[in-house]
Amino acid sequence: MTTVKDADSRTFEAVILLYLACSKLPDGDLDEAEAHRILELTRRHTRELAPSYGERVVAQVSAELAQPHDAESRLAKVVEAAELLGRTLSERAKHELVDELTSIVAADGTLSSRERHFVRAVAKTFGLEQA
């Protein structure tokens, strides 16, 4: 598992951006179960750091994702994050991240076609085959 200790903060922020975007962009809502899953994953990746670090990054990235007023600007931020991670993560870490994104969108007990499409688009950006 990749932790913040192993990666720089820009990479970690890109991961958090994808976590939030996969939950929020497909249906416009951050479900409570999905938010809980995001915090759970964030804590797991930051377990060797101050407990508040992960929550602070989630809040910061969430605010940044909300700033652009048009959908195109939001999507550009997400694509930029996915491309950065596609260049910097190992194959194993890419697969793990796709699995984590799937676990986030499925946390509320439903997996919409838009959520599936988002995860597949990230996998494709990573150069991974996704069923």
pLDDT score at 129: 73
Most distant CA pair in the chain: distance in Å? 37
pLDDT score at 7: 52
User: What's the average model confidence in pLDDT over 50-77?
Assistant: 80
What does the alpha-carbon distance between residue 74 and residue 70 come to, in Å, rounded to a whole number? 7
pLDDT score at 131: 46
Tokens 């048009």 -> residue: 70
Tell me the chain's radius of gyration from C-alpha atoms: 13
100-130 pLDDT, tens digit per residue, is: 999 999 999 988 999 999 999 999 999 997 5
Q: How far is CA 110 from CA 4, 91, 114, in A?
A: 30, 27, 11
What does the alpha-carbon distance between residue 104 and residue 41 come to, in Å, rounded to a whole number? 9
pLDDT bin (cut points 50, 70, 90) of residue 50 is: confident
Contact 95, 109 (CB under 8 A): no
- List the CATH code of the domain at 9-126: 1.10.3680
Task: Give the SS3 label for residue 42.
Answer: helix
The pair of structure tokens assigned to 39 is: 């915090």
